[in-house]
Amino acid sequence: MILHELISYDTLRVIWWLLLGVLLIGFAVTDGFDLGVGTLLPLVARGDVERRVVVNTIGPVWEGNQVWLILGGGAIFAAWPQLYAVSFSGFYIAMFAVLFALILRPVGFKYRSARESAKWRNGWDWALFIGGFVPSLIFGVAMGNVLQGVPFRITPDMQMYYDGTFFGLLNPFALLCGLVSVAMLTMHGATWLVLKTEDPVEGRARRWGMAAAVLTTVLYALAGLVLFKLVSGYQLSSEVTAGGASNPLFKSAEHASGAWFNNYRSYGALMLVPAVGLAAPLLAAFALLLRKPLAALLASAAGIAAIIGSVGVSMFPFILPSSIDPSASLTVWDSSSSHLTLFIMLVCAVIFMPIILAYTSWVFSILRGKVKADDIRNGAGHAY
């Protein structure tokens, strides 16, 4: 037997669907607090020293955290090439905006303290705010559009065409999902700041974090209600061979009201996922109130994982539905790379993922402790 046939094609597809979710959650949990800190920078820090304290909480770790975004993009490219083709072409302008904002972040870190000018530093601080707020919003807007379906079609010769516009992405439901994302990552950034700073920054971050946590639960519940009542989901209307060829045109699918809740009706235990998404942010707010920063950070991370996970659970087996031709929608069963490619990638993931996790854990262990204003004033090892 050929080695890669030890794991069936359909099993590999599910594994890589799960791994894609893990990578997206890994990015949101790690780099998410970086984005949240950037968003909070003008709100929790007053004066240059306090802003340097805030910047130094994420300056040494943001590059490592962003590895998860690179891994996620690489996984989409290699494991789900049709998803990569549609999303990276259809969302091109949105992704360019994200890229521009993410470029502002390292530039802001390196340049803000290069001059003593208050105007110069204030300008770069606002650049860091943009680098946190804009990606947080756009990632959520993208998720909202995925849930509604993206206007693309596939010709019989497998050419893919995106028929939408950038401003079409900015619809009410997608913007609501964008606000969920902003609130969620702001909460996460606030819990990180409470863990890593001292008063007065810590106190301000605690207040903003509690507000953002409650707002996350409220907006997430509202988005779920709108999704159930007003947004048509998608469901398969023909049999699909789970281990068959990667051709989306071999199946039939259709719009159906409430279809994104079918998996919860069939498997009641899955309701635990959105339940955690609703409860964990409130637990984070409660932990902040009790001045338990580590518990708040862990609860915030759990909430992020559940909120993102609930999207995957709701949509399975769909990965990217088509709003203009539901039968051209991409699913787990018909849009992956070959059996051999998925197996080789899995071997690489089994080897390198533990190394990445071990290195990340070591870095956070080395950098544990609070960033203190006195150390910033005395130049005690803080570079930003």
257, β-bridge pairs? 232
Per domain, the residue ranges of the chain are: 7-378
* 34 neighbors 62 (Cβ within 8 angstroms): yes
CA distance 298 to 233: 32
Residue 256: CB partners within 8 Å, gap ≥ 6? 232, 233, 234, 235
Q: Cβ(212)–Cβ(299) under 8 Å?
A: no
Instruction: Give the C-alpha distances (Å, rounded to integers) separating 226 from 233, 258, 313.
Output: 12, 10, 17
Q: What confidence score (pLDDT) does residue 66 get? A: 87
Q: pLDDT tens per residue, the chain (384 residues)? A: 566 678 899 999 999 999 999 999 999 999 999 999 999 999 999 989 999 999 999 988 888 888 888 888 888 989 999 998 888 877 888 889 999 999 998 899 889 888 888 899 999 999 999 999 999 999 999 999 999 999 999 888 888 888 888 788 899 999 999 999 999 999 999 999 999 999 999 999 999 999 999 999 999 999 999 999 999 899 999 988 888 888 998 999 999 999 999 999 999 999 999 999 999 999 999 999 999 999 999 999 999 999 999 999 999 999 999 999 999 999 999 999 999 999 999 999 999 899 988 988 898 888 888 988 887 877 765 667
Contact 62, 320 (CB under 8 A): no
CB of 28 closer than 8 Å to CB of 310: no
Q: Which residue(s) pair with 52 in the sheet?
A: none
- Contact 84/72 with Cβ under 8 angstroms? no
Q: What contacts 95, CB < 8 A, 6 or more positions away?
A: 88
Q: Indicate the pTM of the whole model.
A: 0.94
SS3 content of the chain, % helix, strand, coil (to 5): 75, 5, 20
State the first-to-last Cα distance of the chain, in angstroms, to the nearest integer. 56
